[in-house]
Structure 1
Amino acid sequence: MSRLHKTLFGAFAVIAIVAGIVLERVFEQRSLEQDPALLAAGIILLQQGRPMPALQMLDEQGQAVQLDQLKGKWSLLFFGYTFCPDVCPTTLAQLRNIRGKLPSEAAQRLQVYLVSVDPARDTPAQLKQYLGYFDKSFKGLTGPVQVLQQFSEAVSIPYVPADTSKPNYTVQHSGNLAVVAPDGRLRGFIRAPFDSAKLQGALPGLLGRG
């Protein structure tokens, strides 16, 4: 890695850490105003929804998706990648199990997205194959690094861009989920690690909202 790359990599790491600290403070502030049942499940809702960025990525089918048009369902955005050795498969399996135990009506109102933090390797075809191992209803999003960074900052889910020159590189990323309401606005977050039983109990109430 060149000196410039090391400097940029270090800067991104600092930014991600700072973003995580800011998000923790947001969580702490919201916890004082939060529905206790949702809070116990790690669901933190913002007082007012935030607009999603007017950016475009590709889904697992290779189709263009406007990020400010994720509407009609409650969307859970998990920033991870298909070559992740631990957190990502564990999280996706947990979300599959949680969704599978929700009442049918609630499950139909929920859409899970894997937003790739590894666009160098995660093509639409790779995302489709990988997500098929978990739940065929899960969708993927991938796009240029610049778009991914803007998206990450807009929804306050930090990650550290990887040094793709290294073989078998890994990517540091948050385990939290961003929650997007049916109106297409960022509505809150779900904190990791997840308590499956509590989320199964709390999600139907959230998903029943407009």
Structure 2
Amino acid sequence: MDKLTTAAQNAKTPQQQRGILITVVVSVLFICAVLLGFLHKMGQPRVLTDSELRANGAVKLTRPRIIDNFELLSDSGEPFHTSALAGHWTLVFFGFTHCPDVCPTTLATLNQFYQMLDADTRKQTDILLVSVDPKRDRPQQLRDYVRYFNKDFRGLTGEFITIKRFANQLNVPFNKVPLDDGDYSVDHGAQIVLINPRGHYQAFFKAPQDPAKMKLTYRSMRATFSG
């Protein structure tokens, strides 16, 4: 009699079985939703305060600075105007192809940073090397130089006075330095300037740069930008 009672108790009606199944499915869906929410949050950029940005090597301007119109020459030989900076994020570094150390190191760092970005972010990010030695850096030579570090990088050259004015707007100093053998070099600032999708000067990354910190601060500034 006890066995019959137990069997009767263990027997589930179709309605009860359906209820159990629904409970299990709902529980699994809830767990999946929580897990997906956690993973989505983990994938979102961490938003940093201005002091945290500075601690990680990035200085954000209190107010983005409008850049005056200019015309330079791209490494393809085509004119490059201020308007070309709009519609995407641009990282600008001033250097030259004869630079012995700072420029190749910085471009290698920029390549590491660029490779760390996801594909969609890379599509919205341009890397520009602006030559501070336009006398020697002709378009083809500049093109070969920047493509050595990354095929997506671009170079700009042009009239010296135009480059100087552009650099002054971005607070990047550079000066020609005569050498003992009669040749010359160029001393220049090593910061990397960040221009926002409006084509305005947004921030800069202090030297020496670290690819991981650049990615962290760049993602934060993109996340908080109101275009």
Structure-2-length-normalised TM-score: 0.72
* Cα 1:69–1:166 shift into 2, 3 Å: farther
Aligned match of 2:200: 185
Query: Retained in 2: the 8 A contact 1:103–1:204?
Result: no
- Post-superposition shift, 1:66? 0.9
- Post-superposition shift, 1:155? 1.1
Does 2:70 match 1:45? no
Greater mean alpha carbon deviation, residues 82-91 or residues 154-163: 154-163
CA distance in 1, matches of 2:74, 2:209: 25
- Post-superposition shift, 1:169? 2.2
SS at match of 1:127: helix
Larger CA Rg, structure 1 vs 2? 2
SS at match of 1:197: helix
- Measured against aligned partners, the alpha-carbon deviations of 1:133-183 in whole angstroms (never above 9, x if no partner) come to 101111111011111111111111110134499654211000001111000
- Post-superposition shift, 1:69? 3.8
Does 2:101 match 1:101? no
Equivalent of 1:77 in 82, 86, 92: 92
Aligned match of 1:194: 209
Query: Retained in 2: the 8 A contact 1:102–1:204?
Result: no
What does residue range 116-127 of structure 1 map to in structure 2 within 5 Å? Answer: 116-127=131-142
- Measured against aligned partners, the alpha-carbon deviations of 1:103-147 in whole angstroms (never above 9, x if no partner) come to 222222211110000001101101110111101111111011111
Runs in 1 of length 4+ with deviation above 4 angstroms?
162-168
- Post-superposition shift, 1:102? 1.3
Aligned match of 1:55: 70
CA distance in 1, matches of 2:155, 2:193: 14
CA distance in 2, matches of 1:71, 1:62: 20
* Cα 1:68–1:161 shift into 2, 3 Å: farther
Greater share of helix? 2
Does 2:169 match 1:154? yes
- Measured against aligned partners, the alpha-carbon deviations of 1:60-106 in whole angstroms (never above 9, x if no partner) come to 10110112541111111100001101000000011001110112222
CA distance in 1, matches of 2:115, 2:133: 27
Q: Which runs of 5+ in 1 are unaligned?
A: 1-33
Equivalent of 2:144 in 115, 129, 132: 129
Query: Retained in 2: the 8 A contact 1:71–1:184?
Result: yes
Matched positions, count: 178
Aligned match of 1:18: none
Does 2:191 match 1:176? yes
Give the alignment's Cα RMSD to 1 decimal. Answer: 2.1
Query: Retained in 1: the 8 A contact 2:60–2:204?
Result: yes
CA distance in 2, matches of 1:154, 1:109: 23
SS at match of 1:133: helix
Query: Retained in 1: the 8 A contact 2:94–2:132?
Result: yes
CA distance in 2, matches of 1:154, 1:166: 33
Greater mean alpha carbon deviation, residues 139-148 or residues 166-175: 166-175
CA distance in 2, matches of 1:124, 1:68: 20
